[in-house]
Amino acid sequence: MRLILLGPPGAGKGTQAARLVAKYGIPQLSTGDMLRAAVAAGTPVGLQAKAVMESGGLVSDEIVIGIVADRIEEADAKKGFILDGFPRTVAQAVALDTMLGEKGVKLNAVLEFIVDQNALVGRIVKRAEEAKAAGQPVRKDDDPEVFKTRLAAYNRDTAIVAPYYEKTGLLKKIDGMQPIDTVTEAMMKALG
């Protein structure tokens, strides 16, 4: 199973990805997680990505495409994967098509979480509070002002990725404003 999860930041992609991991036994490939790990480790990629991530902008297509190309070559991704946070631009989607084409494999579905953007700032504030209460690190970009920049980046560069997949018939729209378990049910049903 090869899946893509699309939707603005705070739409629930990470939460739902964890449930797909449990069901299908395939890894969640979150470019955000990979980039945060690179920043924490101080790698050359991390050094380049740090400032742009903290400001809420998008890391360059070149860097992100390189990370994903390496990651999908790893053994655990051979059976399938759930892409979370990638592709975020049409150029990334085109690059992914090329990568998969070269490997002779196809995507099974692209799930788009449809959400009311006005509700997202509240969700992000809650995510930051919950992380803090659990003693986990709070993401620097889960700040209401930075979040607005992330949402603007989504609307400018990423919103057009869903129509790209709609043309291929792979896109499945899921109402992401429902309770978490209901979203999971809708998602599993859409995957058949």
**What residues does 2 pair with on adjacent strands?**
81
Rounded-to-integer distance, Cα 66 and Cα 165, Å: 21
Q: How far is the CB of 192 from ligand AMP (least distance, A)?
A: 26
Q: How far is the CB of 145 from ligand AMP (least distance, A)?
A: 13
Give contact residues for ligand AMP (rule: CB under 6 A): 9, 31-32, 35, 52-53, 56-59, 64, 85-86, 88, 92, 141, 150
Residue whose CB is less far from ligand AMP, 56 or 80: 56
Pick the closest to residue 164 from 102, 112, 105, 108 (CA basis): 112
String of DSSP letters for 57-99: -PPPHHHHHHHHHHHTTSGGGSS-EEEES---SHHHHHHHHHH
Q: DSSP letter at 150?
A: H
C-beta of 71 vs 88, nearer to ligand AMP? 88
Task: Name the minimum Å distance from CB 23 to ligand AMP.
Answer: 21
Q: How far is the CB of 163 from ligand AMP (least distance, A)?
A: 17
DSSP class of residue 139 equals P
C-beta closer to ligand AMP: residue 120 or 187: 120
Task: Considering the complex, state which of residue 35 and residue 186 has its C-beta at the smaller distance from ligand AMP.
Answer: 35
